[in-house]
Structures are given as C-alpha cells and as structure tokens.
Structure 1
Amino acid sequence: MITPLALREKAETQAARLPALLARAEQLAGAVLLGEHGRRRAGMGDDFWQYRPAQIGDSRRMIDHRRSAMGDVQFVREREWQIAQSVMLWVDQGAAMRFASNDNLPSKAERARVLGLACAILLIRGGERVGLTGTRLPPRRGNAQILRLAEMFTEDADADYEPPEHRAMIPHARAVFISDFMGNIDDVKTALTKAADRGVRGVLLHVLDPAEEAFPFRGRTIFESVGGTLEHETLKASDLKDRYLARLAERKAELQHLCGVAGWQYGLHHTDHTAQSGLLWLWRALDGGRART
C-alpha cells in the first residue's frame, strides 16, 4: 500500500509543473474570506491593480500623488480584491478503484488519489481552503492540511463501489469528484442535485483503465470484482463486448447530462495517459478555462 508521504511526493511532483491554481469564486457568500491571491476587481487587498482618475467621494488618502504629479489629473491607486474559496474534494476509495489491467499501469485509485492531492496542493498554494466533502475534514489551508488529505486518501473502502459524499457542502463553494463512476448512477444524481441546491459548482473527473474502454477479452473469461462480491464466467467474452461498450457509452452520456444540469464540468481521464494531462484538465476546469478531455 502506498504511504501518505509517498503519495504526497508523487502529488508534489505533479503540482510543481503547473502554476498555482486559482479556484474561481462566482458568488461572494458563505465561503468567501480575504485570501492570498487577487481577483481582477477593485477592493480590499495589498496588491496593486491599476490607476484610475479620482472621482467625487474618493478619500484624499486614496490619491497617488506621485502618479498625479505627472499631469493635471489626480489618480487613485486601486488594489485587487483578494478572496479565497473553499474547495471540497471527493476521491472514490471503493475497491473497484484498485483495478489495473496490467502491472505497467497505475490503478485507478492511485491515479485518482495523486490527481486529487496534486489539485489540493495547487489550490492551497493559491490561497484556497481545501477539505473533503462530508464532516471528516473541513476546508483549511496550510501544509498540515495537505498531509491530512494524504493520510485520508490512503484509506481503502471494503465495498466495491462508494457513493459520492455530499453531506456538509458549504454553500456557493466549489467541489471536485474523482471516480470511475461504475456504481449506482442514482447516487451520483443525488450528490450533484444536493450540490446544485446549495449553489456548489464543480468538476467531475471520470477515471478509467484503458481495458475498460477497449474490452479486449476473448474466449473463456471469469470477471470478478476487486472486492470479491461479484463474479461472472463466460465462454465467449467477445460476445459481451458490444453490450458492454453500449452500457459504458450510456453511462458517460448520463454523467455528462447530470453535470450539465448541475452546472458542473465533465472530464474523462485514462490511466495510460500522463497524470499531468489529468491535472492540467482539472486546472483549466476549476480556473474557468476551456477544459479538454
């Protein structure tokens, strides 16, 4: 089993290659506080943003006399309004996530945990507060919080499929869900509906092993869940391929639809692709850019 320190080292490696992530705060309520990064908006803060001509009602203390001395117009030195956002993570710990089709690939769980922790590192370095959905680890900042996240991400669940945790979501915060989403789709629908009801916007990253996309099985095959609760034997595995791929396409379409209704973004990541590509997608999605799968 990967240790918390080893997981953090892998996540730090991924996070070091990207600029600090700024989670976009769309509503200034509940989860908003003065933070350590600027939004391009005038207000309270320490970082200079722009000069503008003085207006009626501006305090004389706001006037920048050095800039004003360059002409006949008095100028005010505006600063950026600095806000920090609470971001909640849910990384699937279910037994099915421990699947890897060969020894040269990371398991879905390992990739999901590294991406989740790397995302948290970028967010915290950008001044955001990060925690887990539910009540076990409320959003906080600092290196100690990164270690707490790493410790919790190394825990394994016994059940094959874990439902997304949706309790104690902070109104108007952001959220990140990372899973293979092979379990009951109703659990995902419930979580996204509750998130939308509280004004929580976020991203859903669908992590799959390449064998789950290609279904390369032929002949006599025994399919067994990682947790050992499900088993199916067939003499002609290839006969199941078309039906399986149709079900997988249906699941992707359902997830995309649920995300669209809830105002979330959907992304797909395969474990044979680089972890950096998955982290880059998360960065673009959370930062409000055009995400590519």
Structure 2
Amino acid sequence: MNKIGKRTFRGSAGFVAAFAAGALTLGIAPVATAAGVAEPEGYQVKLRLDDSVLDGSGNLTAEAAGYFGIPEAAGNADAPETEQSVYVDSKDSALGSKGWTARLRHKAGDDEYDLTFKYRQDLSDNTLSQDSIDEALAKAKDADFDSSDDNYEPQVNASYATSTLDFSNKKSAECVSDDCAIPSGEKAVELLDEKLPGKLEKQTGGTLEDAGATASQVVTQRTWPVTVDGTEAELEVTAMSGGYFVEITTELAGRGDAADARADLIEALDDEAILRHSDAFKTQLVLDGTL
C-alpha cells in the first residue's frame, strides 16, 4: 500500500508539473490568488495637552519640565529633536476630502527632505475594538489598500475621541539649498508632485498642480523623550498659527497594549489637569491656520 501510495503521489506531482509547463507554453497565465486585508504594523496613541504647560516664550514651565523629567527647563536646553514641515492641499480640500494628506518635512541634521503621503479613514468607534479595526481594513481593501502593497505602512492611530487607520507612503527628495531650508510653496508642491503615488493621483483625479494645491504655513516642532506614569512617550511642541500645539505620543506593537496605554495616559494627564479633551490630529489645523 505504501509503495502504491508513493507511486501515485509521484505520478500526480509529475502530472501537475507537466500541466503547469504546458500551460505556460500555451500562454495560459496561472490563476492569481486574491490579496488579503492589510495588517497594522503598529499602533500610535496621540493625546493633546493644554498649552498651559508652556510659558510665554513657548518653553516648558519648570513645573511641566519636572513632571516630564526634562532637565534645564529654562530654554529647554536638553537638546530636543527639531523639524520643520509644510502640508499641501487645495482650497477645496482636493486631498483631504478623499482621505489623503501630503507633507514635506526636514529634520535638523538631515541632508534630504522627507515626503509622506498618507491615506486615512476613521474607525467606526474609538475603543480600538478588533471589530472596528477589521471593518476599517476591509474598507481599505475595497479602496485598493491590501496585503499585496509593500509601498504603504498601515498603522492605527488612537487619540482622545477618534481613532483612525492610516496607510503611509514615505519617500525622500534632495534639498534645494545648502542649509536644507523648507522650500517655497510652489517648489514644495513641485517636489511632492514628482514623487506622487499612483493611488493618490487616481483617487483625487490628478496631480497636486492640477488640483491647484498650495503649501501651508511652515510649522516647527520640538520633540523630547519622556515617561508619563511609567509609559515611555514623546512630548511634541509645535509652533503654528501664532501659538503652540502640544501633544504626547507613544507607539505600541499590539492593539491591547495601545488601548491600555491610552487609558493610562488619559488618567495620568487628567490627574495633572493638563489633558485637552480633543483629538491630537493637527494636519487640518495647520492647513487652516488655526489652533
């Protein structure tokens, strides 16, 4: 029985191989396997803080610096990472209305610009439930974002009142000046257009120039590593719209850890009376020039 079984198996394998070779010879393409839904590569928690943690010059107050464990509060001399960015969209929100954002950024010390094109959709609820994430992933697949596309990094972002599923396409561009200053609005649009993803162009109906897109104000962000009630995070202070946008962010690998971290951070920051009960998504605020 074993010998017969082995001969049968070999015969079947030979038949399959012969059939496949014949199919290729005849120009018959193999049947493609449908791609599955994407899998989030990580989770980010973003919470907005009240700007009362800053003094009139935009530096952390001594009390806030002490709470976050940042030494030398005066001038915040603990060497924060700094970066400058512009966002691009048209007056009628050609990108935003389709769920897209486009950003050009320069981090201090880098010799190139970072370009990020992001597709975002809201989760159906803000609990980070598996059902809400699965639903968002299924909708994303219908929009051509699935497991077969390695050009996009899927990530879940959870804030105070809203959670989103994001797909980020990250590229780079050469600096246009020796000091890598943020380029003029028209040049920023041009640089982004040169690396425009096909999905964005297809879903919005054309290039950024076609849409009449313009660049936002230049915003400057300072970032410090901090620990909040045992949770490692980053404190970000962004100068924009004549004021400051302050937020805490932390990244987790799993859904459960992200849900726990958000709950812990909300409780800890609320106890200090420095949590703003609003989302920490600032792209549209930058484009609108508001806070």
TM-score per shorter chain, which class?
A: under 0.3
More strand by share: 2
